[in-house]
Structure 1
Amino acid sequence: MDDSRHPFAGLSRRTMLTGSIAGVGTALAYGSAAAAEDSVEGPRQDGPTVPGAGTYENGSPHITTTGTWSTLSSRADSGGSISYSTSTRASATLAFTGTSVSWISRRTSSSGINEVWIDDTLVAAVDRYSPTTRSRQTVWTSGTLPAGTHTITLTRGSTRNPASTGSTLVLDAFLVEDTPAPPTPPGAGTYENGSPHITTTGTWSTLSSRADSGGSISYSTSTRASATLAFTGTSVSWISRRTSSSGINEVWIDDTLVATVDRYSPTTRSQQTVWSSGPLTAGTHTITLKRGSAKNPASTGSTLVLDAFLVEDTPAPPQIPVPAPIADWTFTESTAPYDSAVAGAPALLQGASSTAEGISTPFGGGVRFNGTTDFLVVPKSDVGVLNVGASTGAVTVAAWVLSTDSNNANIAGIWEESAVGPLRSYALFNDLPDYGGDDMVCMEVSKEGGPTPGYPFSIDYSAEPRKMTRGVWELHVGTYDGGLAIAYLNGESTSYPEYTDKQGATYAKNPYVYPDGLNAAPGDFMVGAVGRDGKLINLHKGGIARLRVWDRALTADEVRALHAAERVDLG
């Protein structure tokens, strides 16, 4: 039976339980879930030991729920049934011991966009909409978690796909895995062909010669022959022979084909560096050689030969320092006002009718916006150092953003679209489709404070051409140095060299050339929305964390360093 046959409740914010956020209960608390229609009992203190690897069906006593849940039976589902809820504040929590967890559910025409929380931190928003019912779907998986005890919580949320007829939360099962940590791969050094660290497939033979590294080579003529080394380092080289019977062999790094190497030589040449990776990111990698089926026309065979692998591990260069911002909101408070960690910057206040609330995020604190009424503001009378149009004329806005709907949104900036003004100056936006920024990070700037002359709206923004990913945390950055506006996604800015707008004008969108400077008239500094003559537009739905403003344009290297330093918090 499809859950789309049942009526669904209206939308609402997530609940606060036992002092935690977003319907996430005490991390190790357990309760007894009713099979159908009944509200669930609260956490009980004498629950069992936190369970380990296994499949936890929707009716498992290890799963604690809030709200009213019902059960539908079907052989198509794991364990023969699903549990579903249309309660505004519905949630389901499992505490477990393991290294990964997956959510098994249905995708249906009445499914909502539901939130996933790991260890009390919002990590994803999952759209389960499907025009036809699909059972036993792995709709989300955590990836690798640190070994130990964790919690996963699903919350119904208040969002749905525009095509969906409801916002139901459906749980079929949780799948927990507990994979022992693999041994640390070896580091820098020479790994001869007979090394126990090298694994092979196919039939291999050994030839001894003083001319070879370590006194021998291994070779194979098997069709599917391969040799793999897992290592920790920043580069790897393949040492081999070049011979008259050598093939054109494949080199794979981290399961990606990176090169084909023709080792043919009319005369035998030993201890040859036939391929080198160049710099790799510091950490663990694999190199795999595959025989393949190609050969040089002059070769008498397609033999794969391994003499040795040479691994190097060069220390990373010193990290580029990122200048201190003029404002840094870490959102450690549970609700507004949110103070800046930098002295002299104003606090963010709750907007009129706003209920934006503090949440836990991978970066510490954050704020959740409902997309309809929530925003934070610094009134124009108090913007102070944020009015960079009256000081340096340059700016950077950076924030970690989790977007849970498909609408365009203001993240932060002085951007007040009032008929009385002009009051626009700078702002970091998501998804400005009218002038080339559809589903992109955009940095908008203005000297006039109103629409671009000759246009109904402002066209003056850069757009990073790579598309945003909804439902995951991303670093969005916009910079302006007085001449160029540049948009960045996850530490990188991609060239967007040509865009033709609705009026036939053609220009680059990233970077965007704008030599006019910034408006110096103080306007409201808005977070999560824009004000237009007393109404709210460009409302953000989702989370914002680590919001910062600089009175200068960060360089590309500084933005890259900012992302590198903070992405580790994502795990």
Structure 2
Amino acid sequence: MNLPGLVSFWDFQEEAGQARIAKGPVACRLEEMAGPVARTEDGLFGRYAASLQYGQWLRAPRSACPELNFCGKRAAFSILAWLKREDRFYPQCQAVAGMWNETEKKRQYCLFLDLRIWDSADQIGGHVSSGGGATPGYPWCMTTAIGATPVTKGEWHCAAFTYDGTYAKVYLDGTLDRREGYNPYLYDEGLHDGGMDGADFTVGAVHRSGEIGNFYAGLIGGLAIFNRTLTEMEIENISNC
């Protein structure tokens, strides 16, 4: 909470049926979009954590959270999410948090799990896009930092994703999860500016193929967004708190 650059931090202590309201400088509200999201007594930043079932997700309208609209050549941010994945198989990659609308070609940034591109499975992925659409020559976006280590299920992990306008990086439990050619991932093109009707900020899913999908399933105990790139030492210290 005391680190410079914090925008919003959600600890997910609210009861099912209530908006999740961030602590910090920007009290951004995450609304339930597919029924009440239960809480369970397995929290990290309090007694509870939110339990997202497959098909559930949270949303903050773009107009309500301009501070999360990272875009342009000098865009910089950090996302940290504390997750306990369900021990189940799902046929799609899993979106954790970001502004990412594939349907309308308004991708900006998003923290993912299990992207299944570039010979990956179950690792953390940090998607970035300067154009908003698919990568030329591919049916989907391929510009992403991808770690080397599978994120195990049924255990708490801290997943982090940073971008500084030049490199996208992903971290697992406070450590840069290095993978040659993909993490750090060179991407100096900046982030897409979706304008007034760009992507909303979503947690647990994104808009894709004309509908909401790429659902995350499991617990989320905390989510922090910073408007700058945290250092490796800062991420390590936060993860070890």
Q: Same fold (TM over 0.5)?
A: yes
The CA deviation at 1:345 is 4.0
1:543 CA drift (Å): 0.6
Equivalent runs, 1:87-236 vs 2, <5 Å = none
Tell me whether 1:546 sits opposite 2:218 in the alignment. no
> What TM-score comes out, normalization by structure 2 length?
0.90
How far, CA to CA, are the matches of 2:190 and 2:81 in structure 1? 23
Q: Does 1:514 align with 2:195?
A: no
Deviation at 1:455, TM superposition (A): 1.2
- Given candidates 472, 479, 493, the residue that maps to 2:155 is 472
Confirm or deny that 1:486 pairs with 2:169. yes
> C-alpha distance in 1, partners of 2:182/2:45?
30
Is contact 1:447-1:519 (8 Å) kept?
A: yes
Partner of 1:327: 8
Partner SS state of residue 191, structure 2: coil
**Structure with greater Cα Rg:** 1
Secondary structure of the 1:557 match is: helix
Q: Is the 8 A contact 1:377 1:527 kept in 2?
A: yes
Q: In 1, distance between residues paired with 2:9 and 2:133?
A: 28
Q: Which blocks of at least 5 consecutive residues in structure 1 are unaligned?
A: 1-320, 498-507, 566-571
Q: Tell me if structure 2 keeps the 8 A contact 1:322–1:561.
A: no
Q: Distance in 1 between matches of 2:27 and 2:165?
A: 22
Q: 1:328 corresponds to which letter in structure 2?
A: F
Q: CA deviation at 1:324?
A: 4.5
* Residue identity (%): 30
Point out which structure has higher relative CO (alpha carbons under 8 A, 6+ apart). 2
1:392 Cα deviation (Å)?
A: 5.2
Query: Deviation digits for residues 43-98 of structure 1, max 9, x if unmatched?
Result: xxxxxxxxxxxxxxxxxxxxxxxxxxxxxxxxxxxxxxxxxxxxxxxxxxxxxxxx
Choose the corresponding residue for 1:454, options 130, 133, 137. Answer: 137
Q: What is the CA deviation profile of residues 491-524 of structure 1, one whole-angstrom value per residue up to 9, with x for unaligned ones? A: 0013211xxxxxxxxxx11111111001122311
1:563 paired residue number: 239
Cα shift at 1:322: 4.1
State how far apart, in whole Å, the 1-side matches of 2:186 and 2:6 are.
Answer: 24
Shift in CA distance, 343/325, structure 1 to aligned 2, threshold 3 Å: closer
Equivalent pair of 1:442/1:461 in contact (CA under 8 Å):
yes
Counterpart in 2 of 1:198?
Answer: none
**Structure-to-structure mapping, 1:247-396, within 5 angstroms:** 322-335=3-16, 336-351=18-33, 353-360=34-41, 361-364=43-46, 365-371=48-54, 373-389=55-71, 393-396=75-78
Q: In structure 1, what residue type is equivalent to 2:111?
A: L
Residue equivalent to 2:116 = 433
Letter in structure 2 aligned against 1:357: A
CA distance in 1, matches of 2:179, 2:72: 30
Change (3 A) 1:534 1:456: closer
Give me the CA root mean square deviation: 1.8
Matched, 1:527 2:203: yes
Residues in 1 aligned to 2:51 and 2:95: alpha-carbon distance in whole angstroms: 14
> What's the CA shift for 1:533?
5.0
State the number of aligned residues. 231
SS of corresponding position for 1:562: helix
Q: Is the 8 A contact 2:161 2:170 kept in 1?
A: yes
Q: 2:101 and 2:49 mapped to 1: Cα distance?
A: 24
What secondary structure is seen at the aligned counterpart in 2 of 1:385? helix
| Counterpart code for 1:343 | P
Q: Secondary structure at the match of 1:561?
A: helix
4+ residue segments displaced more than 4 Å: none
Q: Given the two structures, how large is their TM-score scaled by the length of structure 1?
A: 0.39
Task: List gaps (5 residues or longer) in structure 2.
Answer: none
Q: 1:562, 1:374 → 2: CA distance?
A: 28
Q: 1:330 deviation in Å?
A: 1.2
Q: Residue 406 in 1 paired to residue 89 in 2?
A: yes
Q: Is the 8 A contact 1:334 1:359 kept in 2?
A: no
**In the alignment, what sits opposite 2:128?**
445
Matches within 5 A, 1:7-22: none
Distance 2:209 2:183 in 1: 30
